Structure 1
Amino acid sequence: MGLGEALAILSALAWSAGVIIYKRLGETIAPTRLNLMKNLIVLGFLLPSLALIGGPPPQLGAADLAITLLSGMIGIALADSLYLTALNRLGAARMGILGNFYSPFVILLSFVFLGERLQPLQMAGFVLVTSGVLVVGGRTATEPAQRRELRRGLLLGIGSIALMALAIVLVKRVLETQPLIWMVALRMAGGVGGLLLLFALRREAPWPRAEERARIRWPVVLLGAFVGQYLSMLFWLGGYKYTSASVAAILNETTSIFIVILAAIFLHEALTRRKLLGVALTISGVACMLLA
């Protein structure tokens, strides 16, 4: 296992912890507003990081800078907001396993735009990981209203994951040649700018009202931003910098394992046979990737 593979798995662990925290916070904070709050906090974390370990600013042309900022707008402003909305509708465990669609999207986009190819054992891992989604995403709701809510949540979740995949493939080539911490900061700036634009277009105030602020658990918000966004994004982009996009994407799927386990422990979500089977398929797929 190389540095890129290790960072991809660490990213999955950090993001999984963040998802559990965001599920709790989502009970009192609207998804888009929560997204803006955590990303502003992460920008605060990044400023001293740039001063201490960032090194000289990257030498980016206008096109590469635009791609980096656009990647942040798509992957952070749009994708994360949709993800948090779907998380409230589906629950952490189902959303975690639904996230296994991420690697198929990245593999498809990497095939089209980056010319990457998978070895046979890696393709077997891809099939196993995707099977986990099909198992867990099967019909479990009985009431028509429940089924409609489930379908809406699934569509929002799949849309968010497709946008995340597009955002990382878009910036992959730029990321390979530039300092990691600076790329994280620039993408985050694009994401925050995109969120502020989204609030302006919707004519909504970006900040919580006084009664909402009174219900916010700020230590939990800080913890979620640090673990689920700052650390996970550093590890996530590091994985894509030091290994191929296809391999990093499939190793990121270990997120589903961590989320299902953490959701059962901390959120008391049912650990059903269907979820366990989905996790088993995911583990098998990741094992194929590591052995390839």
Structure 2
Amino acid sequence: MEFPYHLCLLPSAFFMSFQGEIAALSAACLWAIASVVYGRLGERIPPLQLNLMKGIVAIALLLLTIVLSSELFPSIAPIPLYLILLSGVVGIGFGDTVFFASINSLGTRRALLMGTLAPPMTAIGAMIFLQEQLNLSAWCGILLTILGVAWVVTERTPEGRGTQGEGGEGGQGSNFSSSSSRVTANLWRGIGFGVLAAVANAVGALFSRAAFAQSVMNPLWAALLRLSAGVLILLIFTFSKSILKSLLYRQSPGRQVLESPSENLFSIAEARQSRVLVAIIFAAFCGTYLGIWLQQIALKFTVAGVASTLLQTSPVFIIPIGMWLGEKVTWRAIAGVIIAITGVGLLFYLK
């Protein structure tokens, strides 16, 4: 009996056919893990500083990978190069900063939910500017995935009900009203940051897709260029802000320059603490180094709308992470995962 060697080729053929989709799902899983870590770090580190630090760590890791793999700098035409740099400025420099701010205001689950606004924005933008087309099954898959993800992350948890009920027993009406107003203001602030992050994500994806459409670019170099542009704009903003504050202080020596309380929570000395440093390196390795690299592979090998949808399935991966951390998972959460996976199946098999 002859051994069926052709069966050994099936996994490889499947991977080659859907390498963009697989890369997107892998990136989403890593971002879910990293988002949990960033949520903890965000309690001590302001969003801009956190984004800058994780970007620097990821750049160092990418440079090390390029040196070890002997990857030469690709020959890129000016327009695709500008597009990939703009993608980094918008998607990483601005987008990740407001995403971290959204996590601080909404929590990881809600912040990830806001990210599901990016796929329809990306798909519509790709149709208008990149002349990409999605068939009916792809649109159904996108819609089903978004609905499943949204159903998972919008579930009211016991913790959320407890937060809403604080001050309800034994507290004064004025204190409850004041607390409720603060919660509402914080919610809308987080929603605003989440919408901005989704817009930045969509625009960054379109810039990356346009760059890949006009040139042959290694995803590793694309990730490094995007990160470098994002970190550079953050450095420029940070130094400009520092210089402006210094000038204001000199002009008004009798007054202190007002700063957000969160900007004083973190210092270089704290960054040297082993736990904080290890957490930053781990999150940057998973969410930025590997995540953005896989994101570029996804955007290169599949259309922008599909890639962006799969890249936003991070909330689905929060479910097993929550189970591992000892959180209670309800039937609604499980049903939402099934709906989202069904949508992913439509993208895979009816592509």
Does the 8 Å CA contact 2:149/2:337 hold for their aligned counterparts? no
Q: Structure 1 95/236 Cα, relative in aligned 2: closer, same or farther at 3 Å?
A: same
Take 1:149 and 1:285, find their aligned partners in 2: how far apart are those partners?
A: 32
Q: 2:313 aligns with which of 245, 254, 260?
A: 254
Matched with 1:189 is: 228
User: Where do 4+ consecutive residues of structure 1 move more than 6 Å?
Assistant: 138-141, 204-207
List alignment gaps of at least 5 residues for structure 2: 1-13, 165-179, 246-262
Q: Deviations over 1:191-237 (max 9, x none)?
A: 11011122133328999524543656111111111011101111111
Corresponding position of 1:62: 78
Q: How does 1:101-180 map onto structure 2 within 5 Å?
A: 101-132=117-148, 135=151, 136-137=153-154, 143-176=180-213, 177-180=216-219
Q: 1: distance between equivalents of 2:192 and 2:332?
A: 20
> Which residue matches 2:237?
198
Question: Which position in structure 2 is the counterpart of 1:225?
Answer: 284
**Cα pair 1:19 1:259 within 8 Å, conserved:** no
Cα deviation, 1:138-188, whole Å, max 9, x if unaligned, reads 997753432322222112112102101101211213235211111111111
Query: Which residue pairs with 2:253 in the alignment?
Result: none
Deviates more, 1:200-209 or 1:42-51: 200-209
Aligned sequence identity (%):
27
Compute the RMSD of aligned alpha carbons.
Answer: 2.6
Counterpart for residue 290 of structure 1: 348
Contact 1:93–1:269 at 8 Å: present in 2 too? no
Question: Deviation digits for residues 271-292 of structure 1, max 9, x if unmatched?
Answer: 5666555544423322221221
On the 8 A contact 2:20/2:307 being kept in 1, the answer is: yes
Q: How many pairs are equivalent?
A: 291
Deviation at 1:270, TM superposition (A): 6.4
* Cα-to-partner distance string for 1:5-54 (whole Å, 9 max, x where unaligned): 11111111111111111111111111110110011011110112112335
Q: Give the TM-score of the pair, scaled to structure 1.
A: 0.89
Deviation at 1:72, TM superposition (A): 0.6
Question: Which ranges of structure 1 fall in alignment gaps of 5 or more residues?
Answer: none
Structure 2 contact 116–150 (Cα < 8 Å) conserved? no
For residue 94 of structure 1, what is the aligned residue in structure 2? Answer: 110
Q: State which of 292, 298, 301 in structure 2 corresponds to 1:239.
A: 298
- The structure with the largest alpha-carbon Rg is 2
Instruction: Please give the TM-score of this superposition, normalised by the length of structure 2.
Output: 0.75
Q: Distance in 2 between matches of 1:93 and 1:263?
A: 11
SS state of the match for residue 203, structure 1?
helix
> In 1, Cα distance between the equivalents of 2:51 and 2:155?
29
